[in-house]
Structures are given as C-alpha cells and as structure tokens.
Structure 1
Amino acid sequence: MLHANAPPKPQEIFDVAIIGAGVVGCATARRFALAGARVVLIEKGADILSGASKANSAILHTGFDAPPDSLELELVKAGRQEYLEIRESLSLRIVETGALVCAWNALEADKLEAIEETGRANGISELKLLTGSAARATMPGLSENLVSAIEVSGEHVIDPWTAPLAYLTQAAALGAKFLRSTELLKGTFDGEWTLETSSGEVRARAVVNTAGLYGDVVDEKLGFAPEFTIHPRKGQFVVLDKAAFRHVPRIVLPVPTEITKGIVVCPTAFGNVIIGPTAEEQDDRVRATVEADTLKALLARGAEIVPALAGIPVTALYAGLRPATEKKAYRVACRPEARAITLGGIRSTGLSAALGLARHAVELHATFGEPLMPPASLPSIVMPNLTETEERDWQRPDHGEILCHCELVTRREVEATFTSPVPPGDFGGLRRRTRAGMGRCQGFYCNAHLAALTAGKLAAPLAVDEGEAK
C-alpha cells in the first residue's frame, strides 16, 4: 500500500516537526532539510495540498499591492525571487503573462494612481498606467468599457501543484519523512516535543505549525492560547474550456477592496481560463460548496470583462477555502521558550510567499535551535511537465497509451506517480500530479480505466467492488 505510513521508530527524534502539508508546509520542509535538519512533515489528509492549497488562482505575485512595510510584502517578494532562482533546477514552469489591473468606472480609475504609488513604494518598478485603449492594445479581447488600467509586467502564472510537490520531493531526497493520514491529537513540551498523533507518537526538538485552515486549532492542541481565530473564506471558481485561452493571454485583475483582491479572469498553465474567486465568509472548515447562482454571476462577469468568453463551455467548477483571520496580516509567531513557530493566516498570496515563509521559519528557528549543518551536496530533482508551455509526455514515444483524452494524460505518467518519492494518496492527489480527469468530461470516460490501474494504491479507491458494497 503506497499510501500507508511507516511510523517513526520509538527512539527517533526529529529536529523539526512540521504540521500541515499545504504549499507552506512543503516549502518549509524543503528549507529545513536544505539547512540540514532531520524533518518530519505531518498531514491529516491523505495527500499534500488536501486543504486550502488545492484551490487557488496559481498567480505568482510580485507584491505590488501588498500592505507597505508588511511581513507579507517582504515574504512575497522573497518567495517569488527564490521561485525564479530555483525553477530550472527543480524543473518548474512559468507562463509569463503579465497582468492588467483594470478600472471599469471613474471611481475605480481614481484609485489606480494610488495603487501605482503603493507598488513603486513596495519596490515594484515594472508598473505602467495605461489608458483604456492602450490596455486593449495589449489584450484586444477586453471590453470597450475599460476606462484605464495598470500594467504589472511581473505577475505571471505557474503550475500550483507541481511546485509544492517538488519542494517536498527535494526534502524527501534529503531524508525528510512524510506522514500522511496522520492527525495531531495533542502536543506536550518538556525540553523536547512529544506529539500524539493518529499514527503514533512523534518526538521532535522543535515544531512548526503550517496547518492553514486549522492553524488556530493546532496552536491550541500544542498548548498555546491561540493568538488568532480562523474564519474560513470561500472562493468559488469557474474553469472555461480551452477555447477561451486565446482570448485571455494576460491576467486581468480588478481594483482590490479592503476585503478581497476581487474577481480575476486568468489564463492557466494548463491552457484553460479561470474566473473567480468569490469571497464568502463561512464557519465550515471542510466543505466548500459551489452554488449555481454564484457561478452564473461569475460567468456573466467574465463575459462583461472579455465579451468573447460568452457562450464558451464550462469545463469545471470548484471552490476553495482560505484561512482568513481577524486581521489581513500574516499571523506569524515565534515562541523560543517552547521551541515553536506558527505560520498562520496565510491567504491568497501563500503560493507566492511559501518559499519566503519557509526561509523566515528557518531564520526564526536559528534564534533558539541548535546549529544545523547543510548537506554537502543537493540531489537532482526532475519534475514532470503538466503545462502547455513545453512538450508533454503524450508527444513522446512509448508512453503506453493515452488514458485521459481530454487532458492527454498517458499511462506512463500515471504509473510514474506511484514509483515517485511522494506518490499520491488519493484521487485528488493523482489528478494534481497528472491532470487526469480534469478535462471536459471530468473523468466520465477515463475514471474506470484509472480505477483499474490504481486499484490497491490509493487510500480511497475510485471504484468499489459490488460484493464489498452490499
């Protein structure tokens, strides 16, 4: 069973235990492993990215609109820079789209100058205020109703699933251990941490909380009075068919509000276009439902922005939850006396800031932890390409067969995930590693084949035997 855990040995003591395998947790595991720490990453879901990180807009932000002089700004810029530095060594891709912050009325247009000034104060120089006609010249599909825009040439699109997988893959190659389907029950500190989990006891010299939607709950389980409360914020998205891609070569951003960055029309690295997210407060930390009326409103708004999108078929609908708190700021806490760090309240910029947050966590750890010895050499990591920017596996010989014809996923790609250092633990993980079942038919034609191919390899099978179901 490739999804099963090998429990730690009773005498095994890790330098750092990281709780939560979203993008921030995976990045943090990598950074501590690079520093020379013995790392364990604990995740209660069956796979990485099981919570907030599985649903986002996949934008690599510059930080142009981040709060000035904030920790978020510092870490978004640091994370983006590191991504650009390591992407070739980890085989990560980027689609250089650039973005337009679009004003659709005079009130919004009046705010653009202040946004540009904030961006320049934040150290982002690649900003340009454009008239409506000048902005449309860079993206002809935009509505004639556009008043003005700011061009942000450094905002790009990446593959949001392969990047965190690469971070954990490199960490695993350096000896990090990944415990999936493992829920933290309680933590006690007596010079060292003893973590009671659903998979057994884990011991560590330090702990880092990267639990996202459960960040406050994990702090409480570790014995801390929570310094923040998570208020889940739901974001619904519509994914349009690949026919939409030629009409949206750039990221189209709205003028943001105090609450949200607003509805984005954005190309994806996979050749689709997404519209979203909404910003809806809710109490449920698990379920993020999609609602017909809201999705119709998203489609209508998308067509108002780019008229050619009207009538283009919808490929998929999804909703995600962001770990919002009482404050807009990141909720980062360091408790040297307890050898603990919390990286909480990481909302829409988490994908961009993850590498910066990870480096920041190692710097905080250095204020109380033992000196670490970086490894003498780094393992070579080659991640498969899922984007439409380079050659895909189906274009190469001897791939076995194409299993998912909508997304052109091969047998070889699916089989390779189960021999990789971090194999998928559930179907969502398999989809995020291959794109299988994510196309027009949403798995209608390929799921039976995938169920047979993955039998016995996932925590929850794709198909249940009729005898077992009775």
Structure 2
Amino acid sequence: MTAPSFDIAIIGAGVVGCAAWRAFTLAGLSCVLIEREADIISGASKGNSAILHTGFDATPGSLEVACMREGYRLYREIHERLGLPLLETGAMVAAWSAEELEKLPGIVTQAHQNGVMDVTQMTAAQVRAREPGLADDVKGGVWIPGEALIDPWSAPLAYARQALANGGTLRLNAEVISGSFTGGAWTLNIKNDAPIQARIVINCAGNFGDLVEAIARPSPFTITPRKGQFVVYDKPAHDLVQSIILPVPTARTKGIVITRTAFGNLLVGPTAEDQPERRLATTETATLNALHAAGCRMLPALSGMEITTAYAGLRPATQFKDYQIEALPARNWITAGGIRSTGLTGALGIARHMSGLYEEHFGTLKPLPSPLWPRVPNLTEALPRPYAQPGRSEIICHCELVTRDEIAAALAGPLPAGSIGGLRRRTRCMMGRCQGFYCSRRVLELAAPHIPGLADA
C-alpha cells in the first residue's frame, strides 16, 4: 500500500496539536493530525482550570511567557469569529501571611517585566472591598484585570474544526509506534493501520512527548506527569466570588485557585502531584477533603455549598521549567514538549512560534487567501443556549439543560464526538449535579449508533 503523504504530520490532538493543525493548514500546507485516542483533547488537555492567563507571573524572558502573551493576544483577536467565549473577570493574587505579603511587590515588578503593565498592588481593605466573601485575615493582594475565563474544550474543538473545514486531515485511533526518515521524508507507522508519510513531523504528544521524541532522537527531556485534582461546587457557589482568586505562586506550582467556571460552577484546585502514570489521573478522598478545607479557609461561605463533582488532570511536566520547543532541521522535525499548565493560553502562541521555526528552516508559508471560519456551539452561561430558545427540542440532561438537538449535532456534525467523554465535552451532558444518574441511559441510547463499540459496552 502507498502511504498517504502530507507536508506536515502532527502527533497529538491536545490543545497545542489542534492549534498547530489550524495554523499550518491556514498557512497553506497539507496537514494531518494524528491522535491515538478516539477523540481529540482526550489527554492532558481535557482537565485544567480554564483560565486565559496574561502571563504576569511567568519567568521573564522565557519562551513560555512569549508564547502565552502571543496566545493571549491571538485568542482575543479570533475568539468571536469562532464563536468562543471570553468572560472578563480579572484575577487577584491574595496574600494570607506576612511572608506572602512581602512577595507582592515582586509579583507586580515581574508582571511589568512581562509586559502586563496594568497589574497593581492592593491593600487588605481594597481586597475585601472587591471580594467581600474572602476571609477577614487576608493581608493584601495584587490585581490583574486582564485574566479571564474561557471554555477549555470548545477552544481546541474550534481550532480543529477550522483546520478540518480548510482541508486538514484527521486520523483518530491512530497510535504512532515507530517512524523512519529517509529521502527527506518521514514514514510514521501506525498501530493496526496504514502508515503515514510526511515531509515534516511535529511532536505535540503531551504526556507521551518524550516517548514520541525518541522516534527522532534520544529525548533531551523526560515527562513526569504532574497531577492536579480539582473540586467542583454546585451552581449556587458561582457568585461567591467575582474574580479569579490566585495564591502567591511558588517555584513549582501556581498553587490552589478559586475560580468561577464558564459553565456556572465554582472550582477549587489544582494540586501538584508528580506520578509515573501517563494516562490515568485518579482522585483521592483525603486530597479532595484538603482542597475543600483550603477553599473554605479562604472563602468561608464554601462550607455551606454542595460539591457537584471532582476531577483530575495531568500536566506534561519535565525537568525544565520552560517549554521545550525547537526545530531539528536535519531531521525535518519540530518539537513542542513540556507544555505544562499554561498550554490552553499558550497554544495559539506556540503554533505561531512553530510557524516561525518552519519558515526559518523549512520554507516559506503561503496563507490561504480566504479561509473558512466555522463557529462552535456555545456551552457557557454567559451567552444564550438552546434550552431557552422557542421551539427547542426536548431536554435530555436536566442538570445542565442539554437538548436532544445539541447531542445529535455533536454526534453527527463536523468532527463528531468519538467517545462519551468527547460528547460530554461538546455538550456538558452528564456533567451536572447528578453526574449522569438520571440521563445517562438516554444519552447512551442516542450515542450508541454513532460511537463504535458503545452499543456492546
């Protein structure tokens, strides 16, 4: 068999892979996105805090802050054309001890070094005036007005759908097991499927990035997945804060955040726990109890709120703090590794940076003159949703008010859901207070004809 041939093969359909697929497709190249799972964003990108970061607290001069700042700018530039939400909440770094209070001027200075000039220090009185629900012993804070909330799943879906609409190719259930580079082109061998040929390979494999990197060279970085557990509170907790409440960060982690979600809940987390397991992110009762206690300590009214669910995500951390992005000109390879917790914000900027590497080493890009801009459905509470529209179809998931037509569209539209997890991330079904107890049977009946193997499960 003759392997299909492309200008670029991107391995890994997380948010960075989807953004790269979009960027290079819109740049006029034939691109294939290769994903080992049955749907996109099935790995590290499916679990995060959904914050659009300004980069105020990133390391000055780092590649990470450059990609974050560019990704932040690009998201704001394109989100309306793709139908993506942007909830302008602002964020506040809260200091709870004299030691943390002493660090606040340094946070402001670092923000200004990173080009985030509207960051200012706040007194304890100013903090309490803006967020009266916080505990009385808050010592002071830093205000970052540009931080915002987005939908963490619709963003990569929109990037992927735009790539698909403009000629991109997607291969799901396609695990890359090996590759060979001969004659200036790569042949990627796919488990139980036909190989794929491409002139350039881009490694966006997330938690498997170092293993995929070994196809091209001995990997210079090692992925040690960093697990973050989260607690999600029910809808009444949403209005307990107006802004994103951030801790004073440490060298290792941004710490535990209290934030609204775009879906009308309140979120507390994440933790930062290194583990060898690359795919499975478990939750532990003791850790969740500690998160709840920490949340109640900072926001006392949380103690009277019900918890809807808990989840955990994995970040592809390496031994390096900065992103590991580089081109290997002699191997026709571009690496995007170690994209940790800031990947959702940085994705568009990372794709732009990789486009620059391509032009530096591999050739001139010729952007499409009139690209298509498909819009994704709105899942957030900030904009109108189908359940409130006249003549809407029956409601299937009553907790999250998801209609039958929304589920049908997610199963049959462009880039349909390839798994129940993918269906949940496209519609919010089974994500409410009952966690699918009442609606799962109906959802599965609707999904079974469209998702292979589901009817036999």
The 2-side partners of 1:370 and 1:63 are apart by 31
Offset of residue 457 of structure 1: 1.3
1:67 lines up with 2:43 in the alignment = no
In the alignment, which residue of structure 2 is the partner of 1:100? 92
Which whole-Å deviations, capped at 9, do the CAs of 1:150-193 have from their partners, x for residues lacking one? 00000011000001000000000111011111100111111101
The 1-side partners of 2:391 and 2:444 are apart by 22
After superposition, residues 279-428 of structure 1 pair within 5 angstroms as: 279-428=272-421
AA aligned to 1:116 is V
In the alignment, which residue of structure 1 is the partner of 2:128? 136
Match of 1:148 among 140, 155, 161: 140
Offset of residue 287 of structure 1: 1.3
Offset of residue 376 of structure 1: 2.3
The 1-side partners of 2:3 and 2:311 are apart by 43
The 2-side partners of 1:268 and 1:11 are apart by 44
TM-score by length of 1: 0.95
The 1-side partners of 2:423 and 2:453 are apart by 12
In the alignment, which residue of structure 1 is the partner of 2:198? 204
The 2-side partners of 1:196 and 1:224 are apart by 16
Offset of residue 370 of structure 1: 3.5
Contact 2:18 2:159 in 1 (8 A): yes
Runs of 4+ in structure 1 off by over 6 angstroms are none
Offset of residue 136 of structure 1: 1.3
Offset of residue 464 of structure 1: 4.0
Q: SS in structure 2 opposite 1:189?
A: strand
In the alignment, which residue of structure 1 is the partner of 2:422? 429
The 1-side partners of 2:373 and 2:50 are apart by 25
AA aligned to 1:275 is V
AA aligned to 1:154 is G
In the alignment, which residue of structure 1 is the partner of 2:226? 233
Offset of residue 378 of structure 1: 1.3
In the alignment, which residue of structure 1 is the partner of 2:441? 448
CA-atom RMSD in angstroms? 1.1
Which whole-Å deviations, capped at 9, do the CAs of 1:400-440 have from their partners, x for residues lacking one? 20000000000010001123211111000000000000000
The 1-side partners of 2:145 and 2:31 are apart by 37
Match of 1:15 among 7, 12, 19: 7
The 1-side partners of 2:189 and 2:3 are apart by 15
In the alignment, which residue of structure 2 is the partner of 1:3? none
In the alignment, which residue of structure 2 is the partner of 1:5? none
Q: SS in structure 2 opposite 1:347?
A: coil
Contact 2:56 2:110 in 1 (8 A): yes
Contact 1:135 1:149 in 2 (8 A): yes
Match of 1:34 among 14, 21, 26: 26
In the alignment, which residue of structure 1 is the partner of 2:113? 121
TM-score by length of 2: 0.98
Q: SS in structure 1 opposite 2:304?
A: coil
The 2-side partners of 1:319 and 1:311 are apart by 23
The 1-side partners of 2:333 and 2:285 are apart by 43
AA aligned to 2:372 is P
The 2-side partners of 1:392 and 1:133 are apart by 38
Unaligned runs of 5+ in 1: 1-8, 466-470
AA aligned to 1:446 is C
Aligned length: 455
Offset of residue 344 of structure 1: 0.3
